[in-house]
A and B are shown apart, each in its own frame.
Chain A
Amino acid sequence: MNAAVIPIHADTGCTDTEILRERGQREVFCGLTGIIWLHRKIQDAFFLVVGSRTCAHLVQSAAGVMIFAEPRFATAIIDERDLAGLADANEELDKVVSRLLQRRPDIKLLFLVGSCPSEVIKLDLSRAAQRLSQQHGAVKVLNYSGSGIETTFTQGEDACLAALVPQLAPAQDDQPSLLIVGALADVVEDQFRRLLAGMGITRVDFLPARRAGSMPAVGPQTRMLLAQPFLAETARLLEARGAQRVAAPFPLGVEGSAAWLLAAADAMGVPQDIALQAMAPARARAEAALAVHRRQLAGKRIFFFPDSQLELPLARFLAREMGMQLTEVGTPYLHRQHLAAELAWLPAGTVLSEGQDVDRQLDRCRAANPDLVVCGLGLANPLEAEGYTTKWSIELVFSPIQGFEQAADLAGLFSRPLHRRQLLAA
C-alpha cells in the first residue's frame, strides 16, 4: 500500500482561470444609480448630481416611483450658459446648493456627485465641495464621481464611501474593533450585529452609518470586513488609514455567511467553537429553508451578464449550495484580491468574463442555451421573448440578500422565474 503518497489535489477552483476580457458596448448602469439605495441608507444625506438632463432622466428611470416621496436626491442640470465659462458654472452651483439647503434644512451631509458631462468639462467639484462646506457650516459637503466614464453601477457606492473615508475620525483606543464596509439593508445589519454580539463581539461599526453624525472611527486596530465585493477604492483608502482587511468570501448563502462570520470571529480573537455555536440556530434554519429551492434549481444551467460585481459570489452560492451549473459568469470588474476566496470556491472550468461587448456576449449566451439568464432590464424581456428564462439583476442589489435569514430569499429570486415559466407552460 502506498496510500500515503497519493497526491492530495488542493482544489483551487478558478483561482488560476484565464479571464475573458472584452471591450465594446456595455449594457450596464453608471455609478449614479448607487444613489437610489445610498440615500435610503444614510438618512440625513442628500445627493446632488451635477450633470445633464440625461443624468436626471437616468436617476428618475432607475428610482421608479420612489422619486415622489420627497427624495433626497436631485440633479443640477448643466445648460448651455454653464458651458460658456467655468466661473459661471461654480456660481450657478452655489446658488443651486443654497436653494436646496434652504428647502431641506434637515440635511447634514451633501454629496456633489460628478457625472460624465461635469467631468468632461472638468468642473472641479472637490473644490466646490470645500467652498460649500465653508459656506454652509452645519452641512458637510463632499464629492465623488458616479460618471459612466469612470464607474459601473455599484462602483458608485465605492466612490461614495471612499469620499467618506478621509472624514472618519481616527480611532482613539488600542482595542481591536470590527468595521463592516458596504451598505446593507437595515434588517441585515441588525441580524449581523446580533449574531456578532452572540459571539461576544460588540465593538462593531458599519460603513456607511445610518446618519452622517455617527460615522465610525478608523485606525490601526480596525479590522475591516467587506460586506460587498465592489469596494476596491474604499478598502484601499481604509487600509491607508491603518485598517487591516479580513479576507473572507462574501456573506451570500449559508456557506458564505458562515465563512464570513467565522473570519470576523477569528479577526476579533473569538474561538471558532464559540462562533459556530452562536450562529448554529440561524444556520440550521437557513439550511432547512434552502432545500425547497434546491429542488427547483439543481442541475439547471445559468448564465450571468455583468452588472454589479456580485456575480462571482452569487454564482458560487448557486453552484455550491443550489447545485446549479455555471456557463459564463460575467462581471464588470474583477478585483482578484478581494475575490480570492470566491475564485477558489468556484467550480474549476467556469468561464469567467470581465467587461463586455454585449452583442458578442449575447451570441455566446444563445450558444450556451442556459436555463436561466441573469441580466439587466434592457436585455431581460427581449431574451424572454426569445424563449430564455431570465432573472433581472438589479433586484439583487435592491433586495436584502446577505446573511442566513435571507439565504432562502436569495435562492427564491432565482427559482421564482423558473417556477413561473413552469406554471405558465402548464
Chain B
Amino acid sequence: MQLTLWTYEGPPHVGAMRVATGMRDLHYVLHSPQGDTYADLLFTMIERKNTRPPVTYTSFQARDLGSDTAQLFKDAVRNAYERFQPQAMLVGASCTAELIQDDPGGLAHALALPIPVVALELPSYQKKENWGAAETFYQLVRNLVPTTRVERVEGAAPSCNILGPTALGFRHRDDLKEIRGLLAQIGVEVNVVAPLGASPHDLTRLGQADFNVLLYPETGHSACAWLQRTLGQPHTRTVPIGVQATRAFIAEVAGLAGIAPQEALARVDASASHSPWYSASVDANYLTGKRVFVFGDATHAIAAARFASQELGFQIVGLGTYGREFARDIREAANGYGVEPLICDDYLEVEAAITAAAPELVLGTQMERHIAKRLGLPCAVISAPVHVQDFPARYAPQMGFEGANVLFDTWVQPLMMGLEEHLLHMFKGDFEFHEDAAPSHLPRNNPTPAAVIPEPAPAPVEAPAPLTATATAVAAEAPAAPAMPAPGVAPIVVARWAPDAERELGKIPFFVRGKARRNTERFALDQGVATITIETLYDAKAHFSR
C-alpha cells in the first residue's frame, strides 16, 4: 500500500479514455462501478470539450455483484453499439471490475457485433495513465492496421503519419498544428494523424505512409515500434521541442523522406523564430547559470532540460520524471548534466528534492507549480498533469519554432515577475517606496496621515532592511532570483545562525542571499563550526570566492 496525497497520473483506463476521446467514431465501454464517470469531467472541464467523451460505463452497484454484472456489461455494449453506431469499439474493465473478473473481451465477442471490438487488458494495480494510453493505441493499431505495407507510387510526395497526440494532452492541439506546418514546408505529406482526430477507418490506412513522426513517446511509442517491426515503417526519435531540436527533427524527417537535410532546412521558414535572438540579447545576460530544477513526463523534462541548458544558458540542478517507463532516458540525460536523476511519483519526495537543490526556477507540472509557490520560487509548467489554464484559448505550442518562442516567454516571465516582486519587497521600508506612499507622479492635493513621508524605518529584526544603495547597484546587473523564505530553505546543515550573522545575511541582496546562506552553511559544516557568526559569513565568502 502506498500513501498518496497527489497522483501525477490517473489509472490506466483514463489513458484509454484519452485515446478514445481523441478519436472519432470509436466507442469505449468500461466495466466499472457507479462513480467512475468522474473522469468525464477531466475532458469536459479541463480540456473544455463540447461533447461527452465516447465512453459508456456499466455503473454496477453492490446489489449487482454476482453473476448479474456480466449481463449488465453485455447489455451496456449492445446498447452503446445501437445508440452510437461506432466503426469500432473498445471494451475493458476499471480497477474494481478487474477484481470481479468478468471477461469484457469474451463477453463482447459473444455478442458478435458487426464491427471490430478491441479488448483492453489494463492492469490497474500495476500500471498508470500514460501506459494505458500507449497500450490502448497499440492494441487499436495492432487490431485494425493491415500487415501489408503500401509502397509509395513513383513520383508521389513523401508522406508520414503523426502519432501520439491524444485528448487531454499538454498542448497537443497546437503542437500538431506547428508540426503540420513544418512538414508542409519541407514537402512531406501527412497521411494520418492518430489518435487525435482519427477514426478507426483512418487507422487502417496507416500503412500507406513512408514513415512515422512520433510526437509523444509516452503515448505513441508502442504503436510506432509495432509499425516498424511489422510494416518496416521507421519513425522519428527527435522530439522537436527547442530550436536546436526542431532543426535536428527537420534533418531527421528529411532523411526518412529521402530529401537532403540542407535542402529541407532551407525550405523551412524560420523568420518567426525569435527565441535565439532574444536569448542572445543583452537583456538575457542575467539568465546565465540560473539554477533550474526540471520535472515532468520524461519527454518534456528531457527536452526542457536541453532547451534550458543549451539555448537559455541555465544550469540544470535537478532532472526527474514520474513516468517509470522512460526512466532510462532520464537517467542518461541527468548524467549528462551531472545531476542525480529523480524517478518518483511521490510529490513529497519531489518537494524534498527541490528544497535540497535550492533552484532559482522550477520547470514542472501542476504539482511543482504549487510546491514552488509554497517555497516562494518562480515556476513554469512544462508537462502534464496540468490544470485548466494550461489548455489555453490562444495558440501556444511547445514544439517547433513558435514553440520555442512560447517557451522563452513562459519561462522567463516568472523570473521577471520574481525580480519585480522582490524589488518591491526590498524597497518596502524605503522612504520613497513604502507601501503607504502615494504615487510619486501625482500631486498630493489631499494629504492624509498615510501620505506623510515617514522617517526611514529602522530595520526590524525579523525582516532585515536591505542596504538600498548596494542592492540597487547590484540589481542593475543582477540575475533575478527570488530570495526563498527561510522555512523554504531546508537546513541541510546543523550549524545555527547567530542573530547578528542572520541580520548581516539579510543585508546581502536577495538574489544572492540564498546562495550565500547555502555556501556559508556548507562552509560551517566543513569547518565544524557550530554557530555561524558574522566572521563565519565572511570567511565563507572569501573561501568560495577563491
Q: Assuming A61-B42, A78-B125, A385-B50, what are 17 further A-B pairs, CB within 8 angstroms?
A: A25-B56, A26-B34, A28-B37, A30-B38, A32-B35, A50-B1, A60-B7, A62-B38, A68-B370, A76-B4, A116-B33, A116-B96, A120-B100, A121-B99, A376-B41, A378-B41, A381-B44
Task: Give me 22 A-to-B residue pairs in the complex whose CB atoms sit less than 8 angstroms apart, sorted by A's number.
Answer: A25-B57, A26-B37, A27-B40, A30-B38, A53-B128, A57-B11, A57-B14, A60-B6, A60-B7, A75-B7, A77-B3, A93-B1, A116-B33, A117-B95, A120-B96, A120-B100, A121-B99, A149-B60, A149-B65, A378-B40, A380-B44, A381-B49
The answer, yes or no, to whether B124 is at the interface (CB within 8 Å) is: yes
> When the two chains form their complex, are residues A54 and B59 in contact, meaning their CB atoms are under 8 A apart?
no
A377 touching B1 by the CB < 8 A rule? Answer: no
Q: How far is the CA of A392 from the CA of B64 in the complex (A)?
A: 29
Residues 98 to 122 of chain B near chain A (Cβ within 8 Å): 99-100
Residues of B within 8 A of A26 (CB): 34, 37, 57, 59
How many angstroms between the C-alpha atoms of A377 and B44 in the bound complex? Answer: 7
- Once bound together, how far apart are the Cα atoms of A377 and B59, in whole Å? 17
Contact, CB under 8 Å: B3 / A76:
yes
Q: Does A382 contact B99, Cβ atoms closer than 8 Å?
A: no
- Residues on A with C-beta less than 8 A from B96 are 52, 54, 116-117, 120, 148-149
Knowing A54-B11, A61-B42, say if A150 contacts B62 (CB, 8 Å).
yes
B59 and A53 within 8 A (CB): no
Taking a contact as CB atoms under 8 Å apart, the answer to whether A27 and B37 are in contact is yes
Contact in complex: B34, A149 (CB < 8 Å): yes
- Complex Cα distance, B38 from A28, in Å, reads 7
* Nearest 5 CB-CB pairings of A with B: A30-B35, A148-B35, A378-B40, A385-B50, A92-B1
- In the complex, which residues of chain B have a beta carbon less than 8 angstroms from the beta carbon of A31? 35
Cα(A26)–Cα(B59), bound, Å: 6
Expressed in whole angstroms, the minimum distance between the Cβ of A357 and any Cβ of chain B is 9
A76 and B11 alpha carbons, distance in the complex (Å): 14
What is the 8 Å Cβ interface bit string for chain A, positions 11-38, against chain B (1 contact, 0 not)? 0000000000000111111111100000
Give the residue of A50, A53, A377, A379 whose beta carbon is less than 8 angstroms from that of B11.
A53
Separation of A25 and B42 alpha carbons in the complex (Å): 18
* Residues in A neighbouring B99, C-beta threshold 8 A: 83, 117, 120-121
Contacting B at CB under 8 A, from A140-157, are 147-150, 152
Q: Nearest chain-B residue to A150 (Cβ)?
A: B62
Closest to B38 in A: A58
- CB of B58 within 8 A of CB of A25, answer yes
The reply on B498 being an interface residue by CB < 8 A is: no
Per-residue A-contact encoding for B45-82, CB less than 8 Å = 1, 0 else: 10011111000111111101100000000001001000
Minimum CB–CB distance from A261 to chain B (whole Å) comes to: 35
Q: Is the CB–CB distance between B3 and A54 below 8 Å?
A: no
Q: Is B383 an interface residue (CB 8 A)?
A: no
Q: Is A148 a contact partner of B3 (Cβ separation < 8 A)?
A: no
With A148-B33, A385-B50 as known contacts, state yes or no: A67 contacts B125, CB within 8 Å.
no
Q: Give min CB distance, A116 to chain B, whole Å.
A: 4
- Is residue B126 within 8 Å, beta carbon to beta carbon, of the partner chain? yes
Cβ A377 vs Cβ B41 within 8 A: yes
Query: Which residues from 48 to 88 on chain A have a C-beta closer than 8 Å to any C-beta of chain B?
Result: 50, 52-54, 56-58, 60-62, 65, 67-68, 71, 74-80, 82-83
- Is A95 interfacial (CB-CB < 8 Å)? yes
Q: Is the CB of A54 within 8 A of B5?
A: no
Contact between A79 and B52 (Cβ–Cβ < 8 Å)? no
Nearest chain B CB to A29's CB is how many angstroms away?
6
CA distance in complex: A148, B37 (Å): 10
Q: Is B2 an interface residue (CB 8 A)?
A: yes
Q: How far is the CB of B425 from chain A (nearest CB, A)?
A: 23
Q: Which residues of B contact A50 (CB under 8 A)?
A: 1
Q: Cα distance A151–B351 when bound, in Å? A: 35
Asked whether any CB of chain B lies closer than 8 Å to the CB of A201, the reply is no
A305 to chain B, nearest CB (A): 12
Residues of B within 8 A of A93 (CB): 1
- Tell me the A250-307 residues at the B interface (CB within 8 Å): none
Instruction: Give the residues in chain A near B1, CB-CB below 8 Å.
Output: 50, 76-79, 82, 89, 92-93, 95-96
Mark B473-510 against chain A: 1 for CB-CB distance below 8 A, else 0: 00000000000000000000000000000000000000
A382/B2 contact (C-beta < 8 A), A29-B35, A32-B35, A54-B36 known: no
The answer to whether the Cβ of A336 comes within 8 Å of any Cβ in the partner chain is no
- Using Cβ atoms and an 8 Å threshold, which residues of chain B touch A52? 11, 95-96, 124-125
B260–chain A nearest beta-carbon distance, Å: 47
- Judged by a CB distance under 8 angstroms, whether A138 is at the interface is no
CB distance from B369 to the nearest CB of A (A): 9
Number of interface residues of A (CB under 8 A): 60
| Chain B residues whose C-beta falls within 8 Å of the C-beta of A29 in the assembled complex | 35, 38
CA distance A95 to B40 in the complex (A): 34
**Minimum distance in angstroms from B86 CB to a CB of chain A:** 14
| Bound Cα distance A117, B3 (Å) | 16
- Chain B residue at minimum C-beta to C-beta distance from A50: B1
Query: Is A395 part of the binding interface, using a Cβ–Cβ cutoff of 8 Å?
Result: no
Contact mask for chain A residues 362-375; partner B; CB cutoff 8 A; 1 contact, 0 none: 00000000000000
**Is the CB of B246 closer than 8 A to any CB of chain A?**
no
Residues in A neighbouring B126, C-beta threshold 8 A: 79-80
Max chain B Cβ within 10 angstroms of own Cβ: one of A53, A60, A100, A147: A53
CA distance A406 to B530 in the complex (A): 59
Residue on A with the closest CB to B61? A149
Which residues of chain B from 2 to 28 have a CB within 8 Å of any chain A CB? 2-7, 9-11, 13-14
**A359 close to B (CB within 8 Å):** yes
Within 8 A of B (CB), among A343-394: 359, 376-382, 384-385
Closest to A83 in B: B125
* B residues less than 8 Å from A9 (CB atoms): none
A96 contact set on B, CB distance < 8 A: 1-3
Known contacts A24-B59, A80-B125, A116-B33; is-contact A67 B5 (Cβ 8 Å): yes
* Chain B residue, CB-CB nearest to A81: B1
Contacts of B94 on A, CB cut-off 8 Å? 54
Chain A residues within an 8 Å CB radius of B11: 52-54, 57
Question: Which of chain B's residues have a CB closer than 8 A to the CB of A68?
Answer: 370, 373-374
Q: By the criterion CB–CB under 8 Å, are A76 and B38 in contact?
A: no
Question: In the complex the two chains form, what is the Cα distance from A222 to B383 in whole Å?
Answer: 55
B366 to chain A, nearest CB (A): 9
What's the nearest-Cβ distance from chain A to residue B100, in Å?
6
Name which of A99, A152, A378 has the most chain B CB atoms within 10 A of its CB: A378
Residue of A nearest to B46 (CB): A61
Chain A residues closer than 8 Å to B79, beta-carbon distance: 24, 359
* Alpha-carbon separation in the docked complex, A384 to B44 (Å): 11
> B394 on the interface (CB 8 Å rule)?
no
B83 within 8 Å of A (CB atoms): yes
Within 8 Å by CB of B3, from A99, A119, A382, A385, lies: A99
Q: Is the CB of B6 within 8 A of A67?
A: yes
* A275 → B minimal CB distance (Å): 41
Q: Are B33 and A149 in contact (CB under 8 A)?
A: yes
Which residues of the partner chain B approach A150 to less than 8 Å between Cβ atoms? 61-62
Q: Are A152 and B34 in contact (CB under 8 A)?
A: yes
Q: How far is the CA of A378 from the CA of B33 in the complex (A)?
A: 16
Contacts of B128 in A (CB 8 A): 53
A53 contacts B7, CB within 8 Å? yes
1/0 contact string of B344-378 vs chain A (CB within 8 Å): 00000000000000000000000000100110000
Taking a contact as CB atoms under 8 Å apart, the answer to whether B124 and A61 are in contact is no
Residues of chain B contacted by A381 (CB below 8 angstroms): 44-45, 48-50
**B42:A76 contact, CB within 8 angstroms:** no
Q: Given A25-B76, A77-B4, A79-B125, answer yes or no on A116-B35 (Cβ-Cβ < 8 Å).
A: yes
